[in-house]
Amino acid sequence: MNGQFRILQALMLTAGFIFLYAPIVILAAMSFNASRLVSVWGGFSTRWYAALIENEQLMHSAWISLADATLSALFATILGLLAAVSLARFGAFPSRLLFFGAIHAPLVLPEVVMGLALLSCFVALGVGRGFTTLVIGHVTFTMCFTTVALLASLRECDPALEEAAMDLGATPFTAFLLVALPQIAPAMASAFLLAFTLALDDLVIASFATGPGATTLPMRIYSQVRLGVSPQINAMSTLLLGMVAVAMGAGALILRRGARRSRRVSVT
């Protein structure tokens, strides 16, 4: 009976992995198709990856997406750190509940609603949409994720270590900078990579927040796919998937090393 149950579990797990990852594998495989027709295999070739360099629109959109993801992840990590410190170290201040709800609201709001809210705000303030508004939109969207990650890490830090540093003459800011910040450094790196990934592959919020001249790569791909899938789109999508996979893998590795280091410190 146990053997049959294990076989059933293995079959269900295999079917789940096939359902989730078979389209990604097919997409990556067709990016190496020598034929212009994505439905017909014409042999193995890397010509479409070389052709990406000559596609100015895709390359320009790729650079915009990378710059936007880097800047928005940096600002979201810094603001998330400040918000996490406020929630973890400042006690029960009067507007704590409101602040907590405002920070976590983007986690439950549909992206369409958030995108419309950002668009209405930009129009009401008379701000022209472009790269700056794109970064602002992604910072607003990803800050909640960085706050949650850093808040959990801060709550695991032992406040007695900072108190000991202050007893030795350090100011609260210096104690946090020299004692707590190194402990949450892996969580900060992971939060940055998470925000980078979310901003890089976002389509909905970018569609509302950006304007002419700042078309992101997902927006460019979506607009071209509606006219037909080209091998260059498959190649660019494969590179984008690989970049996201590397970022998420690096984040998981950093978190694992940070957890091992914290266990060693607790044991000693």
DSSP codes of every residue in the chain? -HHHHHHHHHHHHHHHHHHHHHHHHHHHHHTTBSSS-TTS---B--HHHHHHTT-HHHHHHHHHHHHHHHHHHHHHHHHHHHHHHHHHHS-S-TTHHHHHHHHHHHHHS-HHHHHHHHHHHHHHHTPPPSHHHHHHHHHHHHHHHHHHHHHHHHHHS-HHHHHHHHHTT--HHHHIIIIIHHHTHHHHHHHHHHHHHHHHT--HHHHHH--TT---HHHHHHHHHTT---HHHHHHHHHHHHHHHHHHHHHHHHHHHHHHHHHHHHH-
* pLDDT the model gives residue 77: 94
Nearest 5°: phi and psi at 44? -80, 135
Instruction: Please list the ranges in the chain whose pLDDT falls under 50.
Output: none
Q: Which two tokens stand for residue 37?
A: 């027709």
* pLDDT the model gives residue 76: 94
Q: Record the pTM.
A: 0.79
Q: Which two tokens stand for residue 96?
A: 């704590």
Q: Which two tokens stand for residue 262?
A: 């914290």
Q: Which two tokens stand for residue 172?
A: 């609260």
* pLDDT the model gives residue 71: 95
- Which domains are present in the chain? 81-267 (1.10.3720.10)
* pLDDT the model gives residue 233: 79
* pLDDT the model gives residue 262: 59
CB 181 within 8 A of CB 84: no
Q: Which two tokens stand for residue 66?
A: 């990378």
Q: Which two tokens stand for residue 56?
A: 């100015």
- What's the chain's average pLDDT? 82
Q: Give the model confidence (pLDDT) of 66-91 as tens digits.
A: 899 999 999 999 999 999 888 887 77
* pLDDT the model gives residue 73: 94
